[in-house]
């Protein structure tokens, strides 16, 4: 099957356009919301209503997210999902399973999610033909969204998608809808609310607890199943929704040298992730053998989830 979606290629976009596009697509891209966004700032009330409704939906989402993503919550989630007792399946099987998730929640996507993932991967492959690990990373980076499915705990949206951020230290001002952190119990906890909190200078992001979601879950699954992906691949998987880091440059004081190197790859990846709803046509059956070979190279045949 092939698809065509109208969108200018991102190569031509400047930072401002990219940012605007990101805000438009924000949670829709991440499989989150079914609230339609206005396609222009119109002069009639209907456009205004749609736009304000959408913004309210996003705000509500982040309010609940910011209040509930605490050190306590993340600790519990990590313990629960480290058991890897939810399913046993291959990477490709999970790609197919993900189709079930996004079909329901994303009104803009009429193609199966697997094609959406392959568009991102194929776009990167075209520009970085020798980085096969990056192609595979693109294919799998969102697989953690299976957390929305009943057999994976059917977690609420705020615990699966949206921007992520560190917990256990002060929340950076650049985090989206920052004001809602005032209602977080961690905000007034002196152990967690200083610049370093429970961490130390240059401790490495690996040692930092991130708000729980599909990013951290897929990172955990990959690591625990012994993937041989390079650390840059794992970095992309874990931090691709960490916009305070890769867009705003926050939390540098927690990074080590390896993080600094890996961040370069994440910035490259992120441009492709944003524009994965491109008009590139992908024939799933045609490219499947290539991605199967990458899966065999970097992952065991069956993974515990
Ligand atoms: Fe994602
Ligand atoms: Fe993505």
Residue 78 to residues 56, 137, 217, 232, Cα–Cα distance (Å): 30, 22, 8, 22
Could you tell me if residue 5 is inside a domain?
A: no
The bound ligand whose nearest atom lies closest to the alpha carbon of 109 is: 2
Is residue 141 part of an annotated ligand binding site?
Answer: yes
- What pLDDT shows up at residue 5? 32
Provide mean pLDDT across the span 84-101.
94
pLDDT band, very low/low/confident/very high, at 53 (cuts 50, 70, 90):
confident
Domain that holds residue 64: 10-304
CA of 239 to the centre of ligand 1 (A): 9
- Report how many domains make up the chain: 1
CA of 82 to the centre of ligand 2 (A): 23
Reported as a single tens digit per residue, the pLDDT across 142-201 is 999 999 999 999 999 999 999 999 999 999 999 999 999 999 999 999 999 999 999 999
Q: Is the pLDDT of residue 231 over 60?
A: yes
> CA-CA distance, 168 to 172, in Å (whole number)?
12
Reported as a single tens digit per residue, the pLDDT across 266-289 is 999 999 987 665 567 789 999 999
Sequence-ordered list of residues with C-beta below 8 angstroms from that of 44, at least 6 positions apart, any chain? none
Is residue 6 part of an annotated ligand binding site?
Answer: no
Could you tell me if residue 121 is inside a domain?
A: yes
Reported as a single tens digit per residue, the pLDDT across 112-143 is 778 878 999 999 999 999 999 999 999 999 99
CA of 254 to the centre of ligand 2 (A): 24
CA of 138 to the centre of ligand 1 (A): 10
Is residue 259 part of an annotated ligand binding site?
Answer: no
CA of 219 to the centre of ligand 2 (A): 14
pLDDT band, very low/low/confident/very high, at 52 (cuts 50, 70, 90):
confident
CA of 39 to the centre of ligand 2 (A): 22
Could you tell me if residue 3 is inside a domain?
A: no
Q: pLDDT higher for 23 or 86? A: 86
Is residue 49 part of an annotated ligand binding site?
Answer: no
CA of 142 to the centre of ligand 2 (A): 5
CA of 141 to the centre of ligand 1 (A): 6
Whole-number percent of the chain with pLDDT over 90: 71
Reported as a single tens digit per residue, the pLDDT across 216-230 is 999 999 999 999 999
Is residue 46 part of an annotated ligand binding site?
Answer: yes
Is residue 214 part of an annotated ligand binding site?
Answer: yes
The closest of 182, 173, 162, 167 to 27, measured between CA atoms, is 162
CA of 135 to the centre of ligand 2 (A): 13
CA of 44 to the centre of ligand 2 (A): 33
Sequence-ordered list of residues with C-beta below 8 angstroms from that of 258, at least 6 positions apart, any chain? 204, 231
- What pLDDT shows up at residue 199? 98
Q: pLDDT higher for 97 or 11? A: 97
pTM of the shown model:
0.84
- What pLDDT shows up at residue 91? 98
Could you tell me if residue 80 is inside a domain?
A: yes
Q: Is the pLDDT of residue 26 over 60?
A: no
CA of 114 to the centre of ligand 2 (A): 11
> CA-CA distance, 299 to 296, in Å (whole number)?
6
Could you tell me if residue 173 is inside a domain?
A: yes
- What pLDDT shows up at residue 275? 67
The bound ligand whose nearest atom lies closest to the alpha carbon of 161 is: 1
Q: Is the pLDDT of residue 103 over 50?
A: no
The bound ligand whose nearest atom lies closest to the alpha carbon of 32 is: 1
Could you tell me if residue 102 is inside a domain?
A: yes
Could you tell me if residue 58 is inside a domain?
A: yes
Mean pLDDT of the chain: 85
Could you tell me if residue 43 is inside a domain?
A: yes
The bound ligand whose nearest atom lies closest to the alpha carbon of 213 is: 1
Crossing angle for the helix pair 15-29 and 45-68, to the nearest 10 degrees: 70
- What pLDDT shows up at residue 101? 76
């Amino acid at each position: 099957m092939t698809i065509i979606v109208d969108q200018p290629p991102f190569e031509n976009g400047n930072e401002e356009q990219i940012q605007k596009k990101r805000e438009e697509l924000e949670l829709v891209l991440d499989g989150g919301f079914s609230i339609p966004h206005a396609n222009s700032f119109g002069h009639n009330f209907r456009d205004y209503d749609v736009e304000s409704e959408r913004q309210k939906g996003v705000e509500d989402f982040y309010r609940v997210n910011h209040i509930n993503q605490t050190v306590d919550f993340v600790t519990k989630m990590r313990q629960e999902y480290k058991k890897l007792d939810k399913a046993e399946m291959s990477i490709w099987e999970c790609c197919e399973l993900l189709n079930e998730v996004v079909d329901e929640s994303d009104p803009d996507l009429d193609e199966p999610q697997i094609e959406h993932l392959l568009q991102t991967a194929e776009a990167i492959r075209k520009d970085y033909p020798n980085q096969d690990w990056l192609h595979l990373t693109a294919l799998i980076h969102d697989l953690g969204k299976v957390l929305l499915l009943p057999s994976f705990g059917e977690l609420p949206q705020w615990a699966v998608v949206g921007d992520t951020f560190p917990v256990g230290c002060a929340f950076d001002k650049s985090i989206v809808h920052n004001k809602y952190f005032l209602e977080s119990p961690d905000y007034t906890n002196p152990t967690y609310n200083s610049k370093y909190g429970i961490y130390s200078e240059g401790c490495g992001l690996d040692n930092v607890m991130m708000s729980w979601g599909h990013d951290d879950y897929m990172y955990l699954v990959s690591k625990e199943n012994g993937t041989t992906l390079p650390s840059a691949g794992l970095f992309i998987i874990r931090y691709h929704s960490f916009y305070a880091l890769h867009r705003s440059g926050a939390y540098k004081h927690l990074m080590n040298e390896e993080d600094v190197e890996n961040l370069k790859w994440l910035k490259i990846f992120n441009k492709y992730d944003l524009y994965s709803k491109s008009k590139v046509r992908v024939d799933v059956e045609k490219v499947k053998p290539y991605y199967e070979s990458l899966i065999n190279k970097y992952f065991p045949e069956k993974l515990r989830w």
